[in-house]
Structure 1
Amino acid sequence: MTTVDQPLGAVRERVLARLRQDIVTGSLLPGDRLVERELAEHFGVSRVPVREAVRALVGEGFVTFESARRAVVRRLTRTDVAELFELREALEVYAAGLAAQRCTPGDLAGLADLLDVAAAATRSGDAERITDANTRFHDRILSLAGNGLLSSVMEPVEGRLRWLTRQNAEWPQLLAEHQELYEAVASGDRERARAASLSHVRTNYRSTVRHLFGE
């Protein structure tokens, strides 16, 4: 049951974060059922925070109700993937252009450090570390764009974008694209950065579709 020294909201957030992570990393697969009683026992909490966490995951697009009492991890459709990548194309390309205009030498050094982390993870073949490093790289470019509204628009779908990133197993190619994107941003050329970002998003889309649907 929920412990008295931890507020219900904090318990809910802990369960939510763990379930979201399990979905993103593939510990929970599309079609897997989320059973309140089993999850409550697993986390050592009451069913209330589990129920609220599952509802939050529905809102985030990770889970769907097949019936009133049957919640399962969502199966990504071609439409889901296409729509998410259309959003990436619109927002990330714009962010890359702004980042090229606004970033400082210190900003670029931080971005280069993230590339080094991604390169080390790619050499090791650790999918979770690769996904984390690549997500942080994109998050940093979004931050360097210096547009708070842009960041707030991206926030509701960041988890699903991370989920999609995890589906792309062509890690060396992904690293090479990120290196090209870094160089384009570092050049200070807005249009070059936009072009590199657009190419990256579209290549990543094709790779993800191949992985998920075999085409």
Structure 2
Amino acid sequence: MNSAGPSAEPRGSLRQRAYDALRRRIVEAELAPGERLVERDLAAQLEVSRIPLREALRLLEADGLVVLVPHRGALVAPFTPADVRDLFDVRESLESLAARLAAERTDRAGLARLAGRLAVARAATRDGDQDAIAAANAGFHSDIVELADNPLLTSTMRPLEARTHWLFRLTAQRDPAQQCAEHEQLYEAIAARDGERAASLALDHVAAGRRTSVALAAEWTHSEVDPEAVAARRRRRRDT
């Protein structure tokens, strides 16, 4: 009996495998913003053909993690200062709403989830584990959205999760102890069922990272591309 190798997998499975692997590499900052993605090399690394790889790249483009540039191929999205500002504009509004609803609607199990996430973040901060810090902080924000118990809010925020995690990883040099302290204050407001305070703290917490993150975004894009030009092409394509 012949063993089934990668080529025997259904195309949908190969596409998902390529998507998952590339998403992780981008979000964990193994691939730099603006870095060129060479299909031939990626297909060999991921052991897939170019068809499922291209399908995966289109999915990643829909997530805002990849840009497909005519006659240039694929790039990791530049994540320009303008992109970061756009993300903060949305997060400031929606995450403050999520915090208020979570304070009003969560239960003991939800609070236990948040407390567990804080414990992981504290341990990662003590250890200086930047990957774990980014994952725990992103998870804390995602948990609050889930605890808000508003399906429309959850579906609206879901496309932002990857970019938010990516942002946390790229800005890992921000003071993680301060972020932990702010998360603990937010947790306490949610646990006290104080929706207005939770919303105010969430807004202040998100807004506090805006200036530093926008400044860092000017430094982290790969030097081989003009990130503003790529972002402009992407915006024009969305507007047409």
TM-score exceeds 0.5? yes
Unaligned runs of at least 5 residues, structure 1: none
In structure 2, what is the equivalent of residue 178 of structure 1? 183
Assess if the C-alpha contact under 8 Å between 1:16 and 1:53 holds in 2: yes
Assess if the C-alpha contact under 8 Å between 1:16 and 1:56 holds in 2: yes
Q: 1:85-136: per-residue Cα shift (whole Å, max 9, x none)? A: 1111111100100000111223212211110001101111111111111111
Assess if the C-alpha contact under 8 Å between 1:100 and 1:193 holds in 2: yes
1:158 aligns with 2:171: no
Q: 1:60-102: per-residue Cα shift (whole Å, max 9, x none)? A: 1111133334211121222111111111111110010000011
Separation of aligned partners in 1, 2:199 and 2:217: 27
In structure 2, what is the equivalent of residue 98 of structure 1? 101
Cα offset, 1:209, TM superposition: 2.0
Separation of aligned partners in 2, 1:48 and 1:66: 17
Assess if the C-alpha contact under 8 Å between 2:34 and 2:75 holds in 1: yes
Assess if the C-alpha contact under 8 Å between 2:84 and 2:217 holds in 1: no
Unaligned runs of at least 5 residues, structure 2: 220-240
Higher relative contact order (CA 8 A, sep 6+): 2
**Quick one: which amino acid aligns to residue 139 of structure 2?**
R
Separation of aligned partners in 2, 1:184 and 1:22: 35
Assess if the C-alpha contact under 8 Å between 1:2 and 1:46 holds in 2: no
Identify the match of residue 39 of structure 1 among 39, 42, 65.
42
CA RMSD of aligned residues (A): 1.5
Separation of aligned partners in 1, 2:128 and 2:52: 35
148-157 vs 204-213, which moves further: 204-213
**Quick one: which amino acid aligns to residue 130 of structure 2?**
A
Corresponding residue pairs, total: 213
Assess if the C-alpha contact under 8 Å between 1:2 and 1:8 holds in 2: no
Separation of aligned partners in 2, 1:172 and 1:67: 43
In structure 2, what is the equivalent of residue 199 of structure 1? 204
In structure 2, what is the equivalent of residue 12 of structure 1? 15
1:23 aligns with 2:37: no
Assess if the C-alpha contact under 8 Å between 2:88 and 2:206 holds in 1: yes
Q: Does the residue aligned with 2:216 lie in a helix, a strand or coil?
A: helix
Assess if the C-alpha contact under 8 Å between 2:121 and 2:137 holds in 1: yes
